[in-house]
Amino acid sequence: MKTLLYGQAEYYYAISCQMTRRLEQQGIITADQRRRIDELDRKSIYEMYPSVDDLETETSGSENADDDNNADNDTAS
């Protein structure tokens, strides 16, 4: 079973941004190239790794199920 570590996408994207910023500062890439790389990295990283936003979506779905169960218990009283 694969363990999901939520927040990996944010971490990897932050590292990627640091790297491209340094490349731009050293004159290896242009500002336009950095922006394009950042856009592509954001898309691919967030598709490959779990994000904190994914966790919030899963959690809110389970809360709704609990509310439904509580409503059933209220009507049974």
pLDDT at 58: 62
Quick check: is 52 in a domain?
yes
pLDDT at 77: 47
Number of domains in the chain: 1
pLDDT at 72: 53
Which residues form the domain of 51?
8-76
Quick check: is 21 in a domain?
yes
Quick check: is 2 in a domain?
no
Quick check: is 1 in a domain?
no
Quick check: is 27 in a domain?
yes
pLDDT at 38: 96
Kindly tell me the burial class for residue 9, based on how many C-beta atoms sit within 10 Å of its own C-beta (0-12, 13-18, 19 or more). buried
Q: What is the mean pLDDT of each run of 10 residues along the chain (77 residues)?
A: 74 96 98 98 93 73 53 53
pLDDT at 70: 54
N-term to C-term CA, the chain: 41
